Amino acid sequence: MKIHEYQGKVILSRYGVPIPKGYLAMTVGEAETAAERLLAETDSPVVVVKAQIHAGGRGKGGGVKVARGGSKDAREIAEKMLGMQLVTHQTGPEGQKVRRLYIEQGLDIERELYLGMVVDRDKRRVAMMASTEGGMDIEKVAADTPEKILTVHLDPLIGLAPFQARQLAYGLGLAKHGKETVGEFTRLALALSKAFRREDCSLCEINPLVVTKRGRVIALDAKLNYDDNADFRHCEWEGLRDIDEEDPVELEAKRAGLSYVSLDGNIGCLVNGAGLAMATMDIIQHYGGSPANFLDVGGSATEDAVAKAFEMILSSHKVKAIFVNIFGGIMKCDVIASGVISATKKTGLKVPLVVRLEGTNVELGRKLLADSGLAIESATSMKEGAQKAVAAASR
């Protein structure tokens, strides 16, 4: 689950991370009022108007503008920005509509740094990364100049140790700004570490983290992604969700207890088990196709769940064929077959359907499909199923 920058900053500030002063604006009038308040409350002569979408690269796409001409200038920028289709490298060519703005005080910036935390699955630990290349895409920095990324791994019992935070501070060259700046960075890094753990984040990123000309260390941006597996511990997450920014089908799948992610292809996938689902998408790609979704119905799905899964797959107009790939362990193949037949009849399926069943009660499942009288292509292997689905989608 993703949240907006302004929401992330509020959360980080609770843990002691310094942030600039700012106000949310949903309308042009609110943007102008927010700018007037900031100019009166701070010693900064400028304000920054920031589009709030769930994607990075906003500045390059025109979603971050500095208003130097007072509140009227901020209003003019807001009029152009609100409602625009903001295109960044993370939104894709279709972009994302800007529905809310964050009006923030301007800062006297001397340096821009990067600071972030992720789960390093290879090391099986949380990693904190820092770089002097603030404001840049960290993926590009990692690819082109990996030596500019400093990384420390946190002990799962004690978290980030103060010496590790200081190690990053000195590695970033903050000593030249004075001991106070090193101390500020250390406290900020420790606060970020605490927030990452207590808020159950999967990603926590400050890019850029700025050093002002007075030596202050401040989070100029905040990107927090939550680990959905921890949502049972956080009833407050629902209030942070921006329904306009999220895929409605993915939200529906979550409520139905299914794991679903929309993709850009044209072959709908219905699979049981995350590993098999990934392998199914890989083999479709291998034979020249493109999956339209990731959909794991789990190991104990019912006929109703299968029918619901079909509805979600068919909600995309891009889908030209469906590949059902089931290995029956806990789940029985005859149950899946009954669900597929029921869903096919209920939805009035008009796109080609390929079904590969293997495992418990497989012969019964295949017989049910064969006797259904429906136009269902059977496959006895993943390879055959993928090839048939790719061929069907390209007709």
205 in active site? yes
**Measured between alpha carbons, how far is 184 from 191 in angstroms, rounded to an integer?**
11
**CA-based nearest residue to 173, from 231, 124, 235, 130:** 130
Choose the catalytic residue: 184, 205, 358, 377: 205
C-alpha distances in Å from residue 324, one per residue of 76, 223, 365, 387: 52, 36, 13, 13
The CB-side HSE value for 371 (13 A sphere, CA atoms) comes to: 9
**Measured between alpha carbons, how far is 356 from 334 in angstroms, rounded to an integer?**
12
Say which residues have a Cβ less than 8 Å from residue 10's Cβ, sequence separation at least 6: none
**Measured between alpha carbons, how far is 385 from 379 in angstroms, rounded to an integer?**
5
226 in active site? no
Say which residues have a Cβ less than 8 Å from residue 209's Cβ, sequence separation at least 6: 112, 113, 114, 115, 134, 188, 217, 218, 219, 220
Quick one: DSSP state of residue 288?
T
107, 220 Cβ separation under 8 angstroms: yes
Q: Specify which residues 328 forms β-bridges with.
A: 359
Choose the catalytic residue: 6, 114, 226, 260: 114
| 64-67 sheet: strands from edge to edge | 22-25, 101-105, 47-51, 64-67
Helix runs in the chain, H state only: 5-14, 28-41, 70-81, 138-144, 162-171, 179-198, 237-240, 248-255, 274-286, 303-314, 333-347, 362-370, 382-393
95, 87 Cβ separation under 8 angstroms: yes
Q: Specify which residues 295 forms β-bridges with.
A: 260
Residues labelled catalytic: 114, 205
